[in-house]
Structure 1
Amino acid sequence: MAEDRLAALTAAGVSIWLDDLSRGRLVGGDLRRLIDDKHVVGVTSNPTTFAAALAHGEAYTPQIRELARRGATVEEAVRKLMVVHVQEACDLFRGVWEATDGVDGRVSLEVNPELAGSCEATVVEAVSLMRAVGRPNLYVKIPATAAGLPAITEALALGVDIKVTLIFSADRYREVMAAYLAGLERALDVGVLLSEVHSVASVFVSRVDAEVDKRLEEIGSDEALALRGMAGIANSRLAYQAFQETFAGTRWERLAARGARVQRPLWASTGVKNPAYPDTKYVTELAVTGTVNTMPEATLDAFTDHGSLRRADNSGAFVDRAGEDRETIDAIVAAGVDLAEVFMVLERDGIDRFARSWAELHETVRRSMNVAG
């Protein structure tokens, strides 16, 4: 049965999260159905999906009218709209959160992307969002920029559960995990129970393939073209190797002995960008115990219909292929792709996308409030 494919993925130790949240999903019962029937145990929101939901439906109209009647500013209205619908999602997932001891049942909300260049402003915003939502199963999303790294440490020490986003390279992922460990150590110093500190780290997959493939095609050699579609998986598995190396050794063991939890890897951007690739590619190839795969609904439906697990991969299987993955990355570099530039471009583009969506969101709310008024 189709449902069994998702059950098998869950049984392999992969947490299935949905990469979309809207009021329509909440009030129409769609999200409840996905929890009950398709093993979805978390959901992520971002300015892009929220702006799209607001622009293409009437689910938010009554609330916008009320905010306009009260004389709320556009900024106040945006904050209120986002907080309320995240609260509703948190309440829906509360049972999952309780059943998994806080591991799943999570809903994420992003800090203002315009603050990505400021550590201090990001921390203030993260604490403000945590207090505004007031739900224990909230993840505040902070991008893995240079300014975001110390903000992750500081926010964790202040009791904010963090979902780190926009990680593209294994090197940056190592820095993210170091920031997490530093946050745990700071939390321990101020008396926070480490068992209550949670975090996931989002490693992006298909965007890496899309950018690398574009450059390989521009190079155009047979060797370059043969490497298309290989960067995203190899890069992700090398990131997983970094995860295994980080959560070992004496530093981690000291924290684990005090109840600390690992910062789980989360595979993000797992919808294929190239229709020539299998539409379940980034689920099948990255099925490893103890990870999260946050999928757009099209990918979730594809796996429901025809997804497969060649084997329930464990961490050892991933590490065993690390040499092969390193050879793949080296071959891509040898073909002429500047991966350092690729990762820089992807990070900058990710921040720019969220900033554009943030501006679009404010403009959509402005227009709706004008009509309502």
Structure 2
Amino acid sequence: MSQAQAILRALQQVCGSSTGTPGQPIALHEPDFSGTQAWAYVRDCLDSGWVSTAGQWVTRFEQELCARTGAEHAVAVTNGTVALRLALHLVGVSADDEVLLPPLSFVATANAVAHLGAIPHFVDVEAGSLGMDPPALAAHLEAVAERREGGVFNRSTGRRLAAVLPVHVFGHPSRIQEVRAVADAWGLPLVEDAAEALGSWSDGNHCGLVGAVGTLSFNGNKLITTGGGGALLTQSTELAKRARHLSTTAKLPHSWAFEHDAVGWNDRMPNLNAALGVAQLEDLDRRLVAKRRLAERYATALENLTSVELVAEPEGCRSNHWLVTLRFLADDPAEAEAQRLQVLEAAHADGLLLRPVWRLLHQLPMYVDAPRGELVVAEGQACRLLNLPSSPQLDEGWSS
């Protein structure tokens, strides 16, 4: 039996018979509303007529997010990219600034920077969590940054370094406290991209609550989906107040007058979407248990294969295991990439829709000229990673 066949057989042991429909492909991460009050809550929106960007379900959704994460404030918006763009704006990022972020992330992380007219500046990741590497960040800042009147600047480009934007990749918490220590030493605000990390904790802090502001995504492939949707999390009353104001077109409260005091955005989440979110947040604990059991089943199925490993939950953390991720261990990255392709081809032919990691952001055409440090680890890891089907309903105990 070849290595690819052995890996495929192990994956089939976990999810090959769990679709319930013979011949139906097993997707990467599918939404599921079974066991929830989703239909009743959405029907309430339709019956009441409150379907747009106001209504009780938006308020309840934000309250539930606070209760689940420990945030003082949550502001629900239309998607995760919008949440990131607004968060960066809140901490002072503006046109021609640079924002430090890792290249191993979904394109939205860099796009949110670019939407403000700012420039992504890439810093390497560490192999364990796949998140931003604190020593790499510290060394890179020492090499390129200088403090002068008005802030911290890139000596090479002359542009201001305006923020640090780490990512909690695949639901695994990054080394966020260490990243914050570096950011604090340079006086740089920290914004956390926790789009994939609802239900993930590090040293007693929910992801997104170590920096000034964090963001979540509720896209269709996330642990909780509102169809589209995102949210900002913060402990700052002032930042939350500004976020709520700017995301509602900066309209001043009045019974009938349309007065606006700033350039704002129409970003607020509709009531319909929030109703879906509330129904699933009520079911969050069951989903997290199912995700953990699924990850453990993958680990058991793969434990005798020495050529691969699962990206592990970091020590001292609790991950939501959003996407269980396989890592190929061959010394030669090209060999690892070839092995990954073999498994991808075999799995897709069998209806298991595995996915390679995103193309690294600095390799995309719009960001090839962006400033960067050495990205040796990111480039060495991206070719090795393979996301496995991770829907909570693949867990054998999901319906219990």
TM-score (norm 2): 0.35
Structure with more helix by fraction: 1
Output the TM-score relative to the length of structure 1: 0.37
Whichever of the two has the greater Rg, that structure is 2
